[in-house]
Amino acid sequence: MIYCYIMHSDAERCIISHTRLMYQPQSASRTSSVNKAIKFASYNMYGFSNGYSKLCHLCQQCDVILIQEHWLQTSELQKLGLVDNNFAYLAVSSMDDKISRGIMYGRPFGGTGILWRKNLGTNVKLIHKDKNGRLITVSISDKIMVTCVYFPCRSSSVDYVVELSNICATVEGVIKAHPN
């Protein structure tokens, strides 16, 4: 299994990375492998409506897009499937707990997702999604494991340290559970 880490700071809303991986696109024969550079992007949308046009642009440039802060409720996640017909997606909302408590006040928050070009393969499996919407992991063709994490804003508080520790422990647990 190949693990790919793409991180960006609070100041950067988008980062693009090229990674050369061996994979077999749907258009290739079953007996051949293709050495192709897969272009990844990580993008903090700051809300689906705010980040929609940039996300459409990234779909023209990239093969796998990791998104954070889409602010969508679970019932709205299908909007990600309308961004580009050449992309499939898996996503998780951060809003479920807040919505279940009744009337929502304040602005929406969080949520992560992964969009991938459909020709990378149809064998994409959900490995893990965090109930808080901070983390989602998929495997592509059982060869590439991709995790999108929305880290909390840096702070010196104990809550920050606890949340960061929990996220790191979750990522470590996912990696240990899928060593191949």
- Tell me the domain boundaries of the chain: 2-177
What confidence tens digit (pLDDT) does each residue in 27-41 have?
A: 555 555 555 678 888
List per-residue pLDDT tens for the chain, 180 residues long.
Answer: 444 545 554 445 556 565 555 555 555 555 555 556 788 889 999 999 999 999 999 999 999 999 999 999 999 999 999 999 999 999 999 887 766 677 666 666 789 999 999 988 768 899 999 888 889 999 887 778 899 998 888 888 898 889 889 988 998 999 899 877
What confidence tens digit (pLDDT) does each residue in 110-131 have?
A: 899 999 999 887 688 999 998 8
Q: What distance in Å separates the CA atoms of residue 113 and residue 6, rounded to the nearest whole number?
A: 14
- pTM > 0.85: yes or no: no
The DSSP H or E segment spanning 21 is strand 14-23
User: CATH class for domain 2-177?
Assistant: alpha beta
